[in-house]
Amino acid sequence: MKKAVFPGSFDPITLGHVDIIKRALPLFDQVVLAIGVNADKKYMFSLEERLAFLNDTFQDQPKISVTTYTGLTVDFCKQIQASYILRGLRNAMDLEFEKAIAQTNYKMSGIETLFLISSSGMAHMSSTIVRDVMRNGGDYHFMVPDPVKK
């Protein structure tokens, strides 16, 4: 079984995330959306809200499961017997940042990271930008799936 973990904080999930996840479905038997729990990080949305956003967004996708984890992503991958980490790339800065993490993860565990480049029109979307627009009362609806809009 080809199983991939798509880790993130998903604070909140964006249509950019949705794009990467949907495009990855034909490549894997199972995609695990894994919210990394970091006690030192301040989130806009609670863990329960973020879990609900993911579960509601992908409720009709049997190949997708949603969970949380703590610690190293590669340790979580080993725990659930996932051989791949899925990541999306929006730009060259993402590539350089994600490449270093992927190389470290592979050296530690032998787990491969698969990168998908964001689709046209999606590269400007990030959770950071969505949160900033939300905090300042702007229109964020074109950047997030329906469960986040509610």
| Antiparallel, parallel or unpaired: β 3-8 and 112-117 | unpaired
Q: Which domains does the chain have, with CATH numbers?
A: 3-149 (3.40.50.620)
**Per-residue pLDDT reduced to its tens digit, 10-63:** 999 999 999 999 999 999 999 999 999 987 889 999 999 999 999 999 999 999
Tokens describing residue 4: 């991939």
Q: Which of 23, 63, 90, 99 is catalytic?
A: 90
Task: Respond yes or no: is residue 127 known to be catalytic.
Answer: yes
Backbone angles phi and psi of 31, in degrees to 5: -120, 120
Average pLDDT over the chain reads 95
pLDDT of residue 81: 98
Task: Respond yes or no: is residue 41 known to be catalytic.
Answer: yes
Tokens describing residue 15: 């249509």
Q: Which of 50, 87, 118, 127 is catalytic?
A: 127
Distance set, CA 102 to CA 8, 16, 51, 138 (Å)? 14, 20, 25, 35
pLDDT of residue 130: 95
Q: Which of 41, 42, 107, 150 is catalytic?
A: 41
